Amino acid sequence: MLDTHKHKGMRKALVEEVRSKGITNEAILKVIGSIPRHFFLDSSFDRFAYQDVAFPIGSGQTISQPYTVAFQTELLEIRKGIKVLEVGTGSGYQACVLVELGAKVYSIERQKKLYEKTSKFVESLGYRMNLFYGDGYKGLPTYGPFDRIIITAGAPEIPKELLLQLKVGGWMIIPVGGDGHQVMTKVFRKSEFDFEQKTYGNFAFVPMLKNRATD
């Protein structure tokens, strides 16, 4: 895998595009500028890696649009050492962004083939994170509670079991809705039993599906 001058140039342009769409967090922009996104796609799709679009990664899934990755990451307000649960590992790109920002990442993927491929791949890049094959609706109760939870698939409703895996004072960023139309939502855990919701506009994700896939 090569990261050429041409790739670097395209990546710089992508950063400016994401910035022009309203992302202001310099640490996040820097990380998007440093991770070779084309490594996360099959090599024949190099030129698509630096367009601000979602792209198929196999098993019927997609790598999220860079702007969407930046937007969700901005809402997470990552600080060094905080514990993050991601639902929907996919290509591993979002997880790598979080690791680069200093988060301790736990990520679940329901597609076994994708889980296996991505586990090998992120390890080959030298990223340290904890990847799991399982059902994101159930979360990882034995590894929680988490400071943050990020869902990278469209959720028909907010999974209750995941809310209980948030620390008090922590929050979840989740696109809520069906059929390719979701509203980005932040669910803040105010206390043991109180949660507060805020919304942040419309997005389109592949669906969050129940149970593991049967391969």
Which residues are at the interface with ligand SAH (CB under 6 A)?
A: 61-64, 87-88, 90-91, 93-94, 108-111, 114, 135-137, 152-153, 206, 208-209
Give the active site residues. Answer: 64
Minimum distance from residue 62 beta carbon to ligand SAH (Å) = 5
Minimum distance from residue 180 beta carbon to ligand SAH (Å) = 12
Which residue type does 114 have? L
Residue 169 vs 180, nearer CB to ligand SAH: 180
| Distances 198 to 28, 156, 189 between C-alpha atoms, Å | 22, 17, 12
User: Other C-beta atoms within 10 Å of 9: how many?
Assistant: 11
Residue 88 vs 177, nearer CB to ligand SAH: 88
Minimum distance from residue 114 beta carbon to ligand SAH (Å) = 5
| Distances 134 to 61, 86, 152 between C-alpha atoms, Å | 16, 12, 15
Name residues whose C-beta falls within 8 Å of residue 157's C-beta, 6 or more positions apart in sequence. 176
Cα(7)–Cα(37) distance, integer angstroms = 9
Cα(212)–Cα(191) distance, integer angstroms = 31
Residue 62 vs 185, nearer CB to ligand SAH: 62
Residue 152 vs 165, nearer CB to ligand SAH: 152
Minimum distance from residue 210 beta carbon to ligand SAH (Å) = 6
Cα(94)–Cα(91) distance, integer angstroms = 8
